[in-house]
Amino acid sequence: METIQQNDTGAAVQDVQQKLAALGFLDEEDVSGTFGEETAAAVEAFCRAHALNVSRVVDDVVWAALLDASFVLGDRTLYLRMPYFHGNDVLQLQNALGALGFPCGDGDGIFGATTEAAVRKFQTNMGLPTDGIAGAFTYRAIRNLQHSWDGKHGPSSAHMGFARAANVLEQNALCLFGTCEFTRSVAARMSNLALATNPTSKIVSADSLLVAPDENMLLVHIVLPGGSHEENAPLLVFDEEDSFAVRLRSTIAAATGKPRRIAIQLPGQQWEDAGEGRSAQHYAITLLDALCTALETEG
């Protein structure tokens, strides 16, 4: 492309200005189609923010970086190819998947093999075609779970992140069960998430067990307020405070008998303003993350 610089005018200049404005580097009132001092300063600020050689003109390198930064989740169908897709939309996809428990490595904004594997695991869990392609159906599923990932970032999470806990999943035998339709759904979703993360996971729901649980399993009973549970089983009321995994560890340690039993009480069938299915998925993700963190610490 021809370098776009100060005093240039036209549609190309306006396109640059619109991108700079959308990214917060230029005021909307300065989108005029004329490359003036304000635009040059905005280009310089953009280069500094994106670790580019400082420039006040738009050459091939700056233009490519502007394009990358301008993409948002869902703008493009993403899949593994050479050269790799890269850009802000890829980074947003990686952050969403990471917060849902399907980490994509370093979260570098590059759609490589690790990101494709995370997409496949997510698709398997959601019952979607497991093709590794982030397209319309995958984006819809991610948006349906926005309550669970928006504002969170898997790689920087203080929690262990159950998708990074493959050893925990295969080294700890747990049977998850509920006694109503909603809590059975949460238990089944937790089992599906664990198996999608690690096919050798020993964290399973009672509905998927082919034989009775043996005495070495930890039985985790998920209940709702007012629901009954075994009298001698320690009961932990669920919340999303940072201390929940620590308290869960103590609850597991207090479990006695063979097999050991604990109960976790959810606050209800509704999480914020999410529907029942999305609420069940949110609880499943959060509970499994806490269980993996507690069990990893315990070990």
Query: Please, what CATH class does the domain formed by 88-156 belong to?
Result: mainly alpha
Q: What is the pLDDT along the chain (299 residues), one digit of tens a residue?
A: 789 999 999 999 999 999 999 999 999 999 999 999 999 999 999 999 888 899 999 999 999 999 999 999 999 999 988 778 999 999 999 999 988 888 887 778 899 888 988 898 888 888 888 888 999 999 999 998 887 787 765 544 334 444 445 678 888 889 999 989 999 999 998 888 888 777 788 888 988 766 666 788 899 999 999 888 777 789 999 886 667 888 898 899 888 888 899 999 999 988 766 678 878 888 887 888 888 888 875 55
* CATH ID of 11-70, from 1.10.150, 1.10.101, 3.40.50, 3.30.365: 1.10.101
Q: Do domains 11-70 and 88-156 have the same CATH topology?
A: yes
3-class SS at 249? Answer: helix
Which residue matches tokens 């100060």? 6
Domain boundaries, the chain: 11-70, 88-156, 162-298
| Neighbour-count burial of 68, counting CB atoms closer than 10 A to its CB (0-12 exposed, 13-18 middle, 19+ buried) | middle
pLDDT, tens digit (0-9, with 9 covering 90-100), for 200-250: 888 889 887 666 667 888 999 999 998 887 777 899 998 866 678 888 988
- Output the pLDDT for position 213: 67
